[in-house]
Amino acid sequence: MKFQTLSAIVLLSGTLLAAEPGAPGNGSLFNGRDLSGWQAPTGTWSVVSAVALDPANPKGFASTPGEGVLVNTLSGKGVDFKTEAEFGDSQIHVEFCVAKDSNSGVYVQGRYEVQILDSHGKASVGVHDCAAIYERWKDAEKKGYEGTAPSVNASKAPGEWQSFDITFTAPKFDSTGKKTANAKFVKVVHNGTVVHENIELTGPTRGGGDVEKATGHIRLQGDHGPVAFRNLTVKPLPSK
């Protein structure tokens, strides 16, 4: 098979993997064919059919043209990518893959990050590792706070497909705009393992801005390293 070096990721035992495009009508955020439903600027995000680690450079990738996989750039220095639609309380399913030492994240409502990182094999994990709820940040003190490490390291090896299943409740506000309840990660499941339950967030995590609202976009971090996604779905939940 002839490879086209590109912006991607993904391998399982050295084998190119074709993705399974999301089916219309099931809450899919990515139709597997194009960037419909995602806001400009889209930078160098593109759609391919399969990707794999570059055998000569595990921090790089090869890909084949086609449909099914959403990838940023080979260098990893793309742009963050966000949905046109906004969501409140929701269940989110994300399948992702990173290259060796790569870094990304899923920002729920564009404000609260579940970290993506190559954390495979680490004996202990912290607030910067894969599946962590990323820390908040104090600019004046240049210091992070309130991050939550995953309860266990469930990371797979770089190049393998992984998954998050996130149950999230949005912050709540009264008629005057005063916040009456914090955002909460009710549950985060990483590769089938529960790593967080009932984690409240007093505000956006680092990189998530300063303003909270009842709804927001799903944002994928694209400027910290090569990353690929497939089977992105959101199921809105009744607001409590």
The confidence score (pLDDT) of residue 142 equals: 86
State the 10-residue block means of pLDDT for the chain, 240 residues long: 35 34 61 94 89 85 88 77 96 94 96 98 96 91 91 96 98 96 98 98 94 96 91 91
| DSSP sequence for 93-137 | EEEEEE-TT-EEEEEETTTEEEEEE--TT-SS--TTSTT-B--EE
Three-state secondary structure readout of 4-52: EECCCCCCECCECEECCCCCCCCCECCCCCCCCCECCCCCCCEEEEEEE
pLDDT at 77: 72
CA dist 22 → 68, 69, 91, 153, 188 (Å):
8, 10, 16, 28, 21
Q: What's residue 131's pLDDT? A: 98
Distance CA(131)–CA(188), nearest Å, equals 8
Q: Which CATH number belongs to the domain containing residue 21 in this structure?
A: 2.60.120.560
Q: Determine the residue type at 156.
A: K
Beta bridge pairs of residue 143: 138
pLDDT, residue 17, reads: 37
Overall number of domains in the chain: 1
- Residue range(s) defining the domain that contains residue 8: 4-236
Residue 7's pLDDT is 34
Task: Give, in order, the Cα–Cα distances in Å from 196 to each of 149, 172, 202.
Answer: 8, 21, 16
